[in-house]
Structure 1
């Protein structure tokens, strides 16, 4: 099954292969058959169209595991001599359909390139006979951004983050969301564990296994699907999604608010059992506390509180867009400069 990604947009220039690739697995060939693209008769652009969504397996080396989740494992690897992250999406024995959705959802943003989004290099469901793994649905090669997540920085760092850095990270996330939303892509599982800290102290949104490509995204009620096939994380999930309503871009704004709150406070958003928390969020508008000195002891705190209350409003239509959110965060930054 070939990837649905526009093949001319997948492979970054630094990964362009030579014309004579040698043996590899391709959606355009039968697994196990060895052949090379002839140098004559193909223009460079045609060669790239032919190969840009293909993994050249001999050039791929897995170095070490760096993470795992419900639908797959991630490895540090090498591809054409470049360090990459490799995700193997596995079959879920309890829900095979969900694992397939996870793989294809991962590719919703594969043709996009932005500083605040983890970039996909190549992906395929075709695996050579000698590498075949019955539990593997597909393989995705991504840019390597390191292994540090925002979750680790918030809860595992010995040195607390200063407010300027926390707000800067929030702006990175908002810029990534704005870019995704401008292409009608809803992430639907935004949380600190799905934000990676790359070189240059830049945050990148990762893990698109719950994402949806919306048919229309100008209004609130314009999604093509109801909810999300894969669930997402309940603490960051918008109340309308918990009720099973249609997914929209504004669900990401709610998730951003919970993430923003975690960055500001360094605390967990909720305590207690899952079901009572879910019920309280939906029925009684439960939100993380915005009381105390953090939010009420300074102009910066007051401004952050105002942003949070807008972003996690129970009515999705009352939440700001990602573009408007960037402007709100810039106001917080300006307040920090004048404190």
Structure 2
């Protein structure tokens, strides 16, 4: 059973209502009803009875925890609750108000929970003025375990001295023998509330989050694992300084113990479920990787406004299944989620892409773009189910965020489809035979989609891989600026880029950079849409994608029918940091393939790649659309794939194959879309059509499509043999 979340030492939780007599009566009623049930049924009962009132549920859970302990019987605790005057729990009647504790006099209560109360106090010896926060163990819950945890927090804080960790100033015991802690008083907001209240951008949120990471990393260096990281335990002052607090359930390791080793089980599982790691939820040993995971949840919330998991039922069982089994959505996709949140006063508000964007990047599209790619990968790596697959340390997590902020390549990479398939199989062991088939399909699909998006655009002969290893020069086609100013011609930028990349890859003499890598780089480097790049930008492009040459330019449509095209291109040497060729081609939309072929010939000659054979030209032509309608639909479909909109991508790829039934790559892309949408019959149908067109393709493209077809008809041995030939 989940315990009451540790109380915030410096301000009351945002959902914590005042404990009025009416609310105290409600707590007693629910406590009595819960005691009548078996212990295994109590948590589910409270989730249903309390609805979205987390503070109410937490108060009752704290009393139940006492009731279930070895130091207090159910009858004794219930008697204590029943005999306590309701008004005495209110701040006005708190007997500690005005009392002197150590060298401090208590002014008011600023936090109250199931385990402890927190007070604002001032120095009372007239030596100097100082306002502090005093944490005092509740007298009615003076249990051995709680006392141990309280003293553990005091010992932990005493060992830590960091500008982003709340500082322990003093400690002792009251006249009644109750221990207390004296800490810095932090007048601030939880980090998520602070970011929203100050409308911080994604980059500003990341920089602030990194200061929290620094504090956690410092704690780890001193053998302390926090184990309860969440927004309310990271307050931000008015000056923008983050303070990490509440080490109530922290684990202090023996210095000889590695922080990576399994060290302890979370006793009684006193944690905050929404931010807990899978190993915490299962009651397994935790390591410093537990804090990495919780920081990942905090980061996810900071940048998206949502939690990583979608729950159909707000129950402990559903929460545990989600944390341990459900793969979180990519942050860039989660932005579009619509959820409702219950506020402290019982009212609900809708969380939408528009409401989230208003406190971050202004517009949903801009927010999606800022999250897509590297940030998605960083967050999802921190949220891996297995600790070994996360960042090895919190410092590594922070380092990757700094890489992102500095427009450098990050270390986090997306999980492979094969890995995701293996997890799917583990979750459906009862369907082992079918699961194995799905696993094989998805493993093969991994090779296909990566090959298509990164390598298939290089029309390759069997020795192409050897050429790449021997040091082929590389070229990145960055795209073309739309000078027409018309949204209906935007597709030409993608079409020209994809077709020219295919053309330049003919014969395998040049290594081309995939459209996916280009898209990610442009986003992360915030590349301007220019006709030419400055030398410093060329240097960044070279470092990011290891490209020797860069092709970019502009295009415009003109003429009475609007179908006349002129595109100007520029070839830049990314190493020499200079422009080495300027060229232009013009014609109609229907001449697109010819325009691209002429441009490709000119560029290859300038890059020293020479010409291509007639058979290679024929192979390249087979990879290109035969008409502008197919080119337009295919290009727009690729953009939808990159925007994580699979249904729209499928519809556009369908339009492409209708416009050009012989367009093998469009059939292949459509098959992949059906596969991603879970429609296996349609997937098999399109894979078969693509297979029937392989006679027009180069050998490696033929194998690519045939492998897809063999897996679709479940000829596993042949499919595996083909994929081994292609991808190993």
Deviation at 1:92, TM superposition (A): 5.9
**Aligned residue in 1 for 2:261:** 221
CA 283–86 in structure 1, closer or farther in 2 if over 3 Å, else same: closer
State whether structure 2 residue 244 is matched by structure 1 residue 205.
Answer: yes
Say if 1:203 and 1:277 are closer, same or farther in 2 by CA, change over 3 A: farther
Deviations 1:146-199 (A, max 9, x none): 1422243356x3x53221221112101110111000011000000001111135
Q: Which residue pairs with 1:260 in the alignment? A: 299
Match of 1:287 in 2: 328
- Secondary structure of the structure 1 residue equivalent to 2:379: helix
Q: CA deviation at 1:119?
A: 0.7
Give the match for residue 97 of structure 2: none
Q: What's the CA shift for 1:81?
A: 1.6
Partner residue, 1:240: 279
Partner of 1:191: 230
8 Å contact from structure 1 (residues 66, 147) kept in 2: no
Runs of 5+ consecutive residues of structure 1 not aligned to the other structure: 1-55
Alpha-carbon contact 1:234-1:278 (below 8 Å) kept: yes
Q: How does 1:111-122 map to 2 (within 5 A)?
A: 111-122=159-170
Q: Does 1:327 align with 2:399?
A: yes
Equivalent residue, structure 2, for 1:123: 171
The answer to whether the 8 A contact 1:227-1:241 is kept is: yes
Partner residue of 2:147 out of 87, 100, 110: 100
> Match for residue 8 of structure 2?
none
- Residue 149 of structure 1 aligns with which residue? 190
State the aligned residue count. 273
Q: Is 2:379 the counterpart of 1:308?
A: yes
| Aligned position for 1:88 | 136
On the 8 A contact 2:217/2:394 being kept in 1, the answer is yes
Distance in 1 between residues matched to 2:325 and 2:314, nearest whole Å: 16
Q: Secondary structure at the match of 2:319?
A: helix
Question: 1:204: Cα distance to partner?
Answer: 1.2
Give the whole-Å Cα distance in 2 for the aligned partners of 1:197 and 1:221: 32
Q: Larger helix proportion, structure 1 or 2?
A: 2
The reply to whether residue 109 of structure 1 matches residue 157 of structure 2 is yes
Name the structure 1 match of 2:680.
none
Change (3 A) 1:195 1:111: same
Q: Which moved more, 1:229-238 or 1:257-266?
A: 229-238
Helix, strand or coil at the partner of 2:105: strand
- Partner Cα separation in structure 2 for residue 97 and residue 288 of structure 1: 42
Structure 2 unaligned segments of length 5 or more: list them.
1-99, 336-365, 408-522, 527-728
Deviates more, 1:164-173 or 1:247-256: 164-173
Aligned partners of 2:244 and 2:251: how far apart in 1?
A: 15
Distance 2:236 2:302 in 1: 14
Within the candidate set 315, 322, 327, 1:274 is matched to 315
- Cα distance in 2, alignment partners of residues 252 and 285 from structure 1: 19
Matched, 1:68 2:112: yes
Q: Secondary structure at the match of 2:148?
A: helix
| Structure of greater Rg | 2
For 1:315 and 1:91, how far apart are their aligned partners in 2?
Answer: 40
Whole-angstrom CA distance in 2 between matches of 1:90 and 1:330: 42
Q: How far did 1:326 drift?
A: 1.7
Alignment partner, residue 249 of structure 1:
288
User: By how many angstroms is 1:57 displaced?
Assistant: 4.2
Structure 2 CA distance for aligned equivalents of residues 209 and 140 of structure 1: 11
Give, in whole Å, the separation in 2 of the partners of 1:337 and 1:143: 39
The Cα of 1:200 is off from its aligned counterpart by: 2.8
1:17-59 Cα offsets, whole Å, 9 max, x none, are xxxxxxxxxxxxxxxxxxxxxxxxxxxxxxxxxxxxxxx9463
* Partners of 2:200 and 2:367 in 1: CA distance: 19
Using the TM superposition, give the Cα deviation of residue 217 of structure 1 relative to its aligned residue in structure 2, in angstroms. Answer: 4.8
Q: Structure 1-normalised TM-score?
A: 0.72
Distance 1:260 1:298, change over 3 A: same
Relative to structure 1, the CA distance from residue 236 to residue 267 in structure 2 (aligned partners, 3 Å threshold; closer, same or farther) is same
CA RMSD of aligned residues (A): 2.7
